[in-house]
Structure formats: structure tokens, C-alpha cells
Structure 1
Amino acid sequence: MIFIDSSKCTGCGQCTRVCPFTVLRLNQEGKAENTGKKCIACMHCAAICPADAITYDSRPAVAEKTQPLPEDCSTTVKQLIYQRRSYRRFLKKKVPGDILRAALDAAENAPSAKNEHPVRWIILESKEIRQCIMDWILEYCKENQVSMELISEYANGNNPVMGENAVIIIGICRRNSINPAQDTAIALTTAELLLQAEGIGTCWGGYLTRFLNLIPECRMVLEIPEGYEVYGTLLAGYPDRQNYRYLPARKKAEIKII
């Protein structure tokens, strides 16, 4: 619950203006107060308060004060977005766990429906488990006559499902959360951009996401809880001899203004 320390509150009203559900208001004394309405804990109020007067559940409501963005920030972000590529072949070089964790921690800052942040993560590094999952996928394809291209590609030494030497980030989410697919995609996109900024190549695992949900053995070996589903996977690693020099031509966005 949001608590405002009236001894610190200056009555500037900034917290009341940014609250998305009018949980806060200024009282007769000109101080901010909690109306008791349901709060989604977005912490906009605490992030904007100039007097550090707001706490949440008796704990500090902000981690640290932010600094103004550097002048070249927009240029750097634009360059990162345009130069992002999908990598599928990686060096046999372990991605440090602290880099993976930092990217996934940062993904908690991504927007989510009603501030639920329902996404949970599985990092798959084990070669043995990866091989078991790949064997189950190939068997499923053969038995059900689906995605048969995977069988021929794998026989030719190419693995479109898991790439080569990848660590795999798996985003799982409760099926009954408000927007599980969107929340997972936004969080994974945030993590992906941060990883690529650190020199870690990534690729979205469309095949892998689909088959992990279809094959019970995959869910079991990954210990995916009941009621959860895989909504996104990301292959990650240090790119192996993939230094792209040019931006590919893309069509312009289709936009309709009403």
C-alpha cells in the first residue's frame, strides 16, 4: 500500500497528476493522501516525488534516482534498433550469468498489463537437456508430419530450432494473466536489446516456443508449473563470424490515419 509521509510532502501535487487510477489526492491541508482505491503499484508517484515522501508497504518505493539521458541517447538507441540482427550460430563461449541476469532484471522495467509483471524465466544451458528436447521435437515432427523441413535441415547439420551453441532464455507466464503473450514479448524485446548492446547475439525461437508447449516431455524436463505456458524463447550467444556491414532494405510501414 502507498504511504505518504505528510512531514515530507510539499503538496506539489505531482504524484496525483501521474497516478493512472486517481489513487492519490490532495487533502484540505494541501498534502497528498491515499484514497484507498486499488493501486497497481506502478510507482509513478514515488518516481516523480521531489521530496522522497512516498513508500510502499513500508519499504522504499524507488531503487535509485535517475539521471538525465545523454544527448546522444536517441541516436544510440536508433542505431541499436536498426543494426539488431537475428543470430543463429554462436561461438563455444559461455555467456556470463551476470549479463543474462542483468538483462532479465532490466526487463522487469518493461510495461505490463495492470503492472502485473507475470513473466518468469528459465535459462537452459544444459547440453544434455537441449539434446533431449531436440530429439523429442524431431520425433514429434516425424510422427505428426509437421514442420518436416526441420528433419532435413537437422540431418544437414543445421538446427533452425535451437541454433548452434546457444544458451536459451525461456519466458513463461500464467495463462490467466491479463496479457501473457504481449507481456512476455515486451519483456523479451527489452532483454534482447540490452543483450545485443553487450555484444550478445540473439534470435527469437518461434519453432522452439511452439513445440515446448505441444510436447509434454519438454514441459516436464523444464519443470514448467501447471497453469503456465511458454510465450517466448530467445537463443543467445556470442556471434560466430557474423559481422554485418549493411542494413537490409525494408518496406515502409503501412499507416492509416483516421
Structure 2
Amino acid sequence: MNLIDIDSEICTACGLCIVECPFGLLAQQTGDVPDLIPGGESFCMRCGHCLAVCPVGALALDGETPESCDPAQTGAVVDPPAMAALLKNRRSIREYKDRPVPRKDMQELMEPVRWAPTAKNEQPVHWLLVDDRAAIHDLARLTVEWAREIDRMPELVTAWDAGKDLVLRNAPLLAIATAPSDGLSPVIDSTIAASALELAATAYGLGSCWAGYFMRAAQQYGPIAERLNLPRGHQVCAALMMGYPKRTYHRVPPRKPADVTWLGSV
């Protein structure tokens, strides 16, 4: 099987796959069906742009045919007011109802998050979903243990000793994104994926909050990595507390004006 197969009976030689390839790995003689340049297979990142852009469905990539793809929506998938409302109404949720998050909902939610962009389409992000309350409590305990050992963030330690969890906030679910530490951009890839999950979760009535204390501890404290039993070579890159919000918010609080500088002539 070739990396790229083009059906010569369907192809119109329009050249869109050539101009769409990020690395210029396709070429064609005048009027001929495009073909992969010599050595092109080594540089192809299987992004699928050539497969997606072909208007007649003549191209297959790495065994994936047009028939195996979902049809793309043309134009704006979400109108500007709806997108603005999604972004403006996002809140960092730190108090949750005592209600578990159904695994079925999380499984559905994780499906579209797979399309979050990653460097060179490596798709390195691995998700560890923790919905065992005792395990989440223990991860919070280890984070406080780390803070106590390094003598930092005394507010965490004081609150914990008083019976209050400021680390993971008694969340019913913890979503942890990990990636190989020797990848191109593991933290950025995971952060983008977690941001996608954070926004997508609102469709299921879920709220979330970045677990910053836990993230720092997991990257520096060996016992947490051991407790998580991460895939070999992986590091914790992002984490979200998740659950059903305990409160209802009735207004959107203000933010500073956008800090924007234009570079270029008017």
C-alpha cells in the first residue's frame, strides 16, 4: 500500500492537494495526476489536508479513504455570538455537586477532543481520567506533602490540616493530560487539548478548573508520578478538575480590554 494513492479516473488534476501540503511533498507534471516526491514519505506528518481538500474524493492517505472520513461542515460551524458566549461564560469551577460524572458522557466528550491540534500532528496526548474519590483525595494529599517538603505554598498546608482541600477541591473527576517528555512540544500539545476539553465540557453541563498546584507537584514530586503509573517516558503536562457546578452564575464579570498591537500598514 502506498502512502498516498490517487484514483486517476476520478482525479481532475486540479492541484489543490499540492498547494495544501504543508511541506510541499506532492508534485505533478502538467495535466498529470499528482504524485509524492522522492523521499516524501519520510516527511509526511499524515495531517490529512490533502485528503480533506480534494473536491472529488480521489485521494487516499495511509489507507484512509474519503469514505472513512466524516463530511466537513463548510462555513462557520459556530456563529460569532455563540462563540463569544461560550468563551465569556466559561468560569473556573471550584465547588462541585456531590454527583459523579458518568463515564459514558466523558467517553463521548473525549472523542472530539482528539482533533485538538498538535505539533506536526504527532497526537502524543494520553489522558488519565480519575473518578475514584479516594484516589483524587490521595493525589491532593501527595500534593500537600510535596508543598510541605519544599516549604512553599503554606496556604495549601494550613487549609489541608484544617480539613479543607485547596488542591483538587473535592472534585468528582480529575482529567490528566500526559505526553512523552522527549516530544516536540508536549506541554503545548497537552495544554491545547485540555483547553479544548474545558470548553467542550460545557455541552454536558460540566464545569472545570485548571489544577495548577497538582500539575506543579506532579512534574516535580516522584511519589505522584509513581501513584499515577504513567506510560513510560511520559510527564504530566496539564490537569483539570471537573464536575457539575455547585453554583449558578447570573452575570459575566468584566475583564480588561484586549491588549492588542497591530504590526503593518493600514
Residue 254 (structure 1) aligned with residue 256 (structure 2):
no
Residue 131 (structure 1) aligned with residue 137 (structure 2):
yes
Please report how far the alpha carbon of residue 7 of structure 1 lies from its aligned counterpart in structure 2 after TM superposition. 2.1
1:167·1:237 contact (CA, 8 Å) conserved in 2?
Answer: yes
1:203·1:236 contact (CA, 8 Å) conserved in 2?
Answer: yes
Rounded to whole Å, the distance in 2 between the matches of 1:234 and 1:86 is 10
Q: 1:72 to 1:254 in 2, by over 3 A?
A: closer
Q: TM-score, normalised by structure 1?
A: 0.92
Counterpart of 1:7, as a letter, is E
Rounded to whole Å, the distance in 1 between the matches of 2:12 and 2:146 is 64
Counterpart of 1:22, as a letter, is G
- Runs of 4+ in structure 1 off by over 4 angstroms are 69-72
Q: 1:191 to 1:231 in 2, by over 3 A?
A: same
Rounded to whole Å, the distance in 2 between the matches of 1:70 and 1:98 is 29
Structure 1 SS opposite 2:159: helix
Rounded to whole Å, the distance in 1 between the matches of 2:147 and 2:122 is 36
Gaps of at least 5 residues in structure 1 are none
Residue 5 (structure 1) aligned with residue 7 (structure 2):
yes
Counterpart of 2:28, as a letter, is L
Correspondence list, 1:227-246, <5 A: 227-240=233-246, 242-246=247-251
1:50-99 CA-partner distances (Å, limit 9, x unpaired): 22112122233652112335686222111000100000111122212232
Please report how far the alpha carbon of residue 212 of structure 1 lies from its aligned counterpart in structure 2 after TM superposition. 1.4
Q: 1:170 to 1:190 in 2, by over 3 A?
A: same
Residue 17 (structure 1) aligned with residue 19 (structure 2):
yes
Match of 1:159 among 162, 165, 177: 165
Counterpart of 1:134, as a letter, is A
**Aligned residue for 1:27?**
29
Match of 1:47 among 27, 52, 70: 52
- Alignment RMSD (CA, Å): 1.9
1:192-239 CA-partner distances (Å, limit 9, x unpaired): 111013210010110011111222221112111332111100111111
Rounded to whole Å, the distance in 2 between the matches of 1:192 and 1:134 is 21
1:137-175 CA-partner distances (Å, limit 9, x unpaired): 222222321111102223444322111233000000111
**Aligned residue for 2:213?**
207
2:96·2:171 contact (CA, 8 Å) conserved in 1?
Answer: yes
Counterpart of 2:20, as a letter, is V
Rounded to whole Å, the distance in 2 between the matches of 1:146 and 1:234 is 22
Gaps of at least 5 residues in structure 2 are none
Counterpart of 2:195, as a letter, is T
Rounded to whole Å, the distance in 1 between the matches of 2:193 and 2:208 is 14
Q: 1:117 to 1:84 in 2, by over 3 A?
A: same
1:4·1:34 contact (CA, 8 Å) conserved in 2?
Answer: no
1:129·1:221 contact (CA, 8 Å) conserved in 2?
Answer: no
Q: TM-score, normalised by structure 2?
A: 0.89
Tell me the percent identity. Answer: 28
Rounded to whole Å, the distance in 2 between the matches of 1:57 and 1:256 is 42
